[in-house]
Structure 1
């Protein structure tokens, strides 16, 4: 019997201690509790509840046994004996509801050391499973953001048009159409993405107009909008904002100059890569989510539109040049153009656009075949130009009226430049859940410790990072949107809307996007596409091997995926703050902290009982057990102290009568009330908490000779 109770006490103490430690440390279980982990959420909950119930039941068992040993010791030749109220304390543990039904027990024993201990134990028995459920059972929780060095797979340089074309999905293979299959596919992709993003951006402007929240301040205008992978919304930020009015006062022409930072889409691949160990929403039955703020360089698209008159356009339009045979043969344009003087001898706009040898090699101004008619646009691309141009150019003409309805004669042409670089002033924020994901560029925030510049002092930006490869990607984009149809007076709807946004006043229209803003949003899809699988740093330093093939360029480019040609590349590390929602122990609501005392009390009471059992040298049969007590009581002589209790049970002071176990000739054991006269003379004083604690801490003396109970209801075994 003793060994059984000792093992039960060890079990209860161990698991109550384990649950307490787990609730305090609040461990996160990661992939251990997931769809593919060692446990599912339901099995983890079942396991927690089962262990809590077993701990609760074992605690109740050992505490009742503990009370039985204390009362047996008191009843056997102890000066104070034991009262009926104290014997009834065990019912508080077994039937906690009796606490509210038996006021006499609370009156005569409830404020004693064991009475308070029994009350606390009863409270623990009632609430332990609920406390374990609230504080230990794994539940979906957000953790605090943790700094993590993540890795992303780099497979190509930024804006590698060959790589982009190769992975465009089309049923028309290169063997069927070797010359145009890839370019046709990628142009369809660009058209679909650009129009979708542009429409979303215009819808945001429609809402701004309807609510009357339009503004001429660049920071208060709608951000760039895009969608990638069909389920990830991309928010692009306006940076390095220029004041149109201030530029007009400086140059005396209308300059619409914007820069739009694009979040790095490579973070999407890195977040789902198993090497980073981030639990995906699908692994938690669609209930998981996470947020990553990465310190990576962000691509940025620079869009510059200058409003001009036809006279100011003369250096840039072939048919306006002197001694040109008209009409211009546009079917072979621009093959008939000679670039003997690619800098055009200098123009009044060189400093605005950055043209001329003083700005670097390849900084050539554009030349267009003709002047577009109303609501049409023409593209000047890099065909037949010396290599090195970093921009593409668009020439558009608005209608006879501006956006305000005023008649405009000739000052409604716009010459626009688009080029792409990277900026260190941003971080990329990626949030994913089962309902969708969001990729956001967070820029120009001095308090952002995760901006690329904060973690890489001296990082390059501006013109030092302009991509010479992007114009090839942008040319296919422009063709896909029919932006060059103005060469043949195509009257495309996209060109019409775009030219209606040309600024004709030296200020931003609070109710309309500008042409430069619209172009940047439309071209944003090319930047996202160019950055997929591209480096996370500001240095596009893989030009010797634009695409990283498996084994072809040595082991340094291996990705650890064996011989499969579907996986290749080189991992690149970057710091990120990761905050995930996964299964963890600990409270999810503030009120659940109120359950901590239950776990603490249960462990401390378990520990107290275990120490008592370990240091107890003797073990008594528990005479408080109902069957033992019945046998003992029926074989005890009647007592006047219990007169009148036969039918209705004890009442009042009868609960306070002290009882002692006596033996008659080593054969018969019985209960006998202590002489009340002793109490009147002072020989029997009321017990105090000090007496209870002293008795509890003192070892029981070894019994010898006639003191040993060999029979009866209180048989005692030597310890």
Structure 2
């Protein structure tokens, strides 16, 4: 009964201090492998009377295990595990075995084991006795030995491995490899960001890799650089701080210093644990770590901004482009042959091509003219008047292949007010230059290797400025009266035959003089170049048109080069009742052609009359003339005029097109004899020039880029072939390239430079300073935990066991020392260590640990420690 009652009674639950650290003070602590007596075997039991069941102060320690209420079996299992993993000498093992035999023979033990199975109690009791005997054979330190141990207290924990890693260890090799990788690739990224290479067709839908793949690879390598850089810098911090903690003449390290690795790995701790920044960011290493934390966070963003390929425009580059040429300018036979129509030559050998061209003229001319008139209409309705100066009025315009907007330019500007005064009548002269359509085709020629917008997923663009001649049309209109027109009207001649429109259209009357006869003199011979002083023959019209109607004349052999139009003005128009216009086409040298290609559509422009334009054709072709008239254009223009019903006035057809044109003849003041442009209406000459602009574009496609035909007497290349003609040009291409797209993005260069230089410094430190031999990183949680657990407590961290250190405790300096007699590393406050050193100097003036024993008799671990103590690495002692 008594034994049963005793077994049910348990000792009172001790306080936490007695459970975890009985008798632990700032300078003394129990040995971590010393067994605490349990209630099962009290100190006064026969088998443990004089064993280490008492502390050096002869105070009995109660079992923490029983204080927590563990069973007998749990205590025995714990003893077994401790004994299995505790190093012992051979003598200790034999003593433990002998003690075990004695314990098994003890009557007290047999009585105690009567409550358990006999077969289970023997090995467990044997281990408990062996463990107790191990503690008995552990010598206690005398007071002199305690002083020699410095701040390590009673703890004996000899290090199993060296603190310094081998140069060929896995850790050293991996860290060096990552340092090389981070340095090399961050350097490559920095060079790429500075060089801003353009990848051309190597990136694109038709190129080597797709844009999405290129962006993915760039982001992937940037992330690996960031990760390797963070790993290397954290290892660098660990080496610097660990060596600083071991070095004798260093300032030591603080808890705030050890938290610097968290700034890099967990940048959010800069906000959540901002107190540590206060104590560490004020020294050089802390400032470097704080800066690096921000740089590491921004590296991927910086690489995406400055390195990742993006579509952007490169610089303007001078080059020479090539285009295919098949004919001279304004060759009507070439245009008819290439016109796309389902009607074959077998079906209509005479008019298949010309009919197709007539339809093209109608479609192109009316479309361009309608856009021009609509723009004038919008300006008039919004009371947004244009200028009376031709250079500031709405320019010629149109479209080409439905998706390219064409804009021409007014050139060779004339003072129409002065000309009107001189000739005493309305004089309206304009010259419209259009861009060369061959540049549009050359931009797509494979020989020029220009990436098209479709090659970049519809996002690409390019600009071309070409030094080529520009097709142009000059329109001269003059107001005339009926009497002034009599020399040019067949029905007004004496003895003329009766007019018949059908006969006139079939063939002109035989009584009309032919070239070289100059016919009758007119009042406008000087203006149009008629008569003996001019090179042109005056046109003959069958009759005077009725109001709102027009009649054309395109007869005459070479060198006659103009198409003539005679119209009757609207009754309400000021000025003369009739107007005579001459249209002539050719090639101008005052312009360059500019083309902008994009997926949404292109823009083809004629850039003219710019003295700063070095690509104007007259700049690259000094022998050119301002405007070279081409007589062949008259043949193209005659088909154009007939298609647009400009000659329908011969039968009084009252065509809509003619009516609108004749409403644009105003602006002349009969009193002052001055003509001025109406700011709300286009003039007749402007309208005719815009309407004829389509003939210029069609005549230039496939034609020479020069002002004259340079390929022999034949107007086309023999055999229907083409030849390449080159021309100077500048290009600016939008393609995938590295580098920022905005000026402010240059700030990210700081990130790339910092990461590269820091990686280089870390590599130099790892490879040259410490030569790849790394010490244990005591800033790593597992290492500092093991070191702190096997170190004595310190009053410097009083009150920090619950919520952690705070305030000045974060800046307290700590050193890592070694108990050289046991080869045991521990961490202690630098202030406590200095105080201990002073005490040792006073009590043991002739017992220098650094010199005794002799260096030749030191163990490898102690020699290693003393070498680390004398470290002179600049970064290790840097504060």
Q: Does the pair score TM above 0.5? A: yes
Alignment of 1:156-235 (within 5 A): 156-212=327-383, 213-235=385-407
1:646 aligns with 2:809: no
Which residue matches 2:232?
A: 62
Tell me whether 1:40 sits opposite 2:213 in the alignment: no
Native 8 Å contact 2:482 2:578 kept in 1: yes
Which position in structure 2 is the counterpart of 1:446?
Answer: 611
Q: Does 1:517 align with 2:686?
A: yes
2:277 to 95, 106, 114: 106
Distance 1:340 1:204, change over 3 A: closer
* Alignment equivalent of 1:85, drawn from 241, 253, 256: 256
Aligned residue for 2:233, secondary structure, equals helix
Counterparts of 2:425 and 2:738 in 1: how far apart (Å)?
A: 64
Report Cα offsets for 1:363-411 as digits up to 9, x if no partner. 22211222222222111123xx333221111111124332x6xxx8xx3
- Distance apart, 1:193 and its partner CA: 0.8
Whether 2:310 is the aligned partner of 1:139: answer: yes
Q: Which deviates the most, 338-347 or 585-594?
A: 338-347
Task: Report the Cα offset of residue 279 of structure 1.
Answer: 2.3
TM-score (norm 1): 0.87
Matched, 1:332 2:502: no
Give the TM-score taking structure 2 as reference length: 0.72
Look up the match of 2:90: none
CA contact (8 A) 2:243 2:868 kept: no
Question: What's the CA shift string for 1:238-258, capped at 9, x where partnerless?
Answer: 111223321121112222111
- Report the Cα offset of residue 198 of structure 1: 1.0
Tell me how far apart the structure 2 counterparts of residues 10 and 387 of structure 1 sit (CA, whole Å).
80
- For residues 326-378 of structure 1, what are the alpha-carbon distances to aligned partners after superposition, in whole Å with 9 as ceiling and x for unaligned? 23542433253341653115433222112345544xx2221122222222211
2-structure distance, mates of 1:678, 1:372:
121
- Judged with a 3 Å threshold, the aligned counterparts in structure 2 of structure 1 residues 519 and 111 are, in CA distance, closer, same or farther, namely same
Q: Contact conserved, 2:814 with 2:827, CA < 8 A, in 1?
A: no
Query: Aligned partners of 2:862, 2:725: CA distance in 1, in Å?
Result: 80
Q: CA deviation at 1:221?
A: 2.2
Cα shift at 1:304:
0.9
Cα distance, 1:128 vs structure 2: 1.0
- The counterpart of 1:494, out of the listed 653, 657, 660, is 657
SS in 2 for 1:12: helix
- Tell me the SS of whatever aligns to 2:323: strand
Unmatched tracts of structure 2, length 5 or more: 1-170, 669-674, 840-854, 870-879
Q: Distance in 1 between matches of 2:663 and 2:656?
A: 11
- Which protein has the larger Cα radius of gyration, Structure 1 or Structure 2? 2
Tell me, in whole angstroms, the C-alpha distance in 2 between the residues paired with 1:12 and 1:112.
25
Give the Cα–Cα distance (whole angstroms) in 2 for the partners of residues 275 and 96 of structure 1: 54
- Where 1:313 maps in the other structure, the secondary structure is helix
Return 111-120 or 67-76, whichever deviates more.
67-76
Deviations along 1:29-83, one digit per CA (max 9) or x if unpaired, are 2222222222322222211211111111100100111112112222324322333
1:74-126: CA deviation from partner (whole Å, max 9, x where unpaired) = 23243223333222221111111112233442233221221111111211121
**Counterpart residue number, 1:355:** 530
5+ residue gaps, structure 1: 553-564, 684-701
Q: Distance in 2 between matches of 1:268 and 1:394?
A: 32
**Greater shift in the superposed pair: 439-448 or 344-353:** 344-353
Which of 540, 556, 562 is the equivalent residue of 2:709?
Answer: 540
Match of 2:464 among 275, 284, 292: 292
Contact 1:641 1:657 in 2 (8 A): no
**1:647-686 correspondence to structure 2 within 5 Å:** 647-655=802-810, 656-665=812-821, 667-676=823-832, 678=834
CA RMSD, 1 decimal: 2.8
Indicate the larger mover: 17-26 or 212-221: 212-221
- Whole-angstrom distance in 2 between the partners of 1:33 and 1:87: 46
Q: Provide the rounded CA distance (Å) in 1 between the counterparts of 2:515 and 2:400.
A: 43
Q: Quick one: distance in 1 between partners of 2:415 and 2:747?
A: 57
Q: Does 1:365 align with 2:518?
A: no
C-alpha displacement at 1:666, in angstroms?
A: 6.3
In 2, the alpha carbon distance for the partners of 1:365 and 1:310 equals 16
Task: Assess if the C-alpha contact under 8 Å between 1:330 and 1:487 holds in 2.
Answer: no
**3-state SS of the aligned residue for 1:79?**
coil
Seen in structure 2, the aligned counterparts of structure 1 residues 631 and 704 have a Cα distance that, compared at 3 Å, is farther
* Residues 307, 504 of structure 1: 8 Å contact kept: no
Q: Distance in 2 between matches of 1:650 and 1:430?
A: 71
**Residue deviations 1:620-658, cap 9 Å, x none?**
232322222222222223334334333332233333122
Provide the residue aligned with 2:640 in structure 1.
477
- In structure 1, how many angstroms separate the alpha carbons of the residues matched to 2:615 and 2:342? 42
State the Cα deviation string for residues 528-555 of structure 1 (Å, max 9, x = none). Answer: 1001111222223235232225xx5xxx
Question: Is the partner of 1:312 in helix, strand or coil?
Answer: helix
- Identify the residue that residue 386 of structure 1 maps to in structure 2: 557
Cα contact 2:309–2:737 (8 A) shared by 1: yes
Q: 1:22·1:585 contact (CA, 8 Å) conserved in 2?
A: yes
Work out the CA distance in 2 between the residues paired with 1:167 and 1:395. Answer: 32
Q: SS in structure 2 opposite 1:619?
A: coil
Contact 2:819-2:825 within 8 A present in 1 as well: yes
